[in-house]
Amino acid sequence: MFYEGMFLVDNDLAVKSPEGAAKLVADVIEKYGGRILHQERWDERKLTYEIRGKKRATYLIAYFEAAGDAVKNIYRQVEIHDELLRALILERSDRREALLAAAKEGRIPGPKFSVAPETEGLGTERRDGPRWDRDRDRDRDRGDRGFRGGDRRPFNPAPPPDQP
């Protein structure tokens, strides 16, 4: 069967040794009889939430052939390896030729990221639009809200003491 796999690799490993990260993914796939047809680095991204204490990861996409029972073993190996954070493997036999042709031409289908990893989230990007700077709107003057302290009555006032 033909599969498309997206692997999140620890960014420390991918930056130090991009070939090592690709080899790690290839070794996991080939360990269970898989044959890689195409593999490449997709992008480095900041994660939405931490995975195993990591805030950034490198996405590697791989097109490979493997037996159906190999997929659960690949997922198991992803859980065991500290450098492999996550994986998503889809059976794509219906689009095998189109995906391989696009991959060989450098047109991997899927989203393309527009923000470079170095500037992501640092506020250096310039974006125009009515809702881009939402925090600015939260800091606006909220007007006169009246005196807010000290003169309020207690919620459950104590009964007045008996006077002689």
pLDDT in tens, 98-122: 777 777 776 665 544 444 545 454 4
Q: What is the pLDDT of residue 17?
A: 86
Q: What is the pLDDT of residue 98?
A: 77
Domains of the chain: 2-104 (3.30.70.60)
Structure-model confidence comparison of residues 162 and 77, the more confident one: 77
Could you give the 3-state DSSP secondary structure of residue 80? helix
Q: What are phi and psi of 78, to 5 degrees?
A: -65, -40
pLDDT in tens, 40-72: 888 888 888 898 888 889 999 988 989 888 999
Please spell the DSSP secondary structure of 143-156, one letter per residue. ------SS-PPPSS
Number of neighbouring beta carbons within 10 Å of residue 115 = 13
pLDDT in tens, 138-159: 555 555 666 566 655 556 666 7
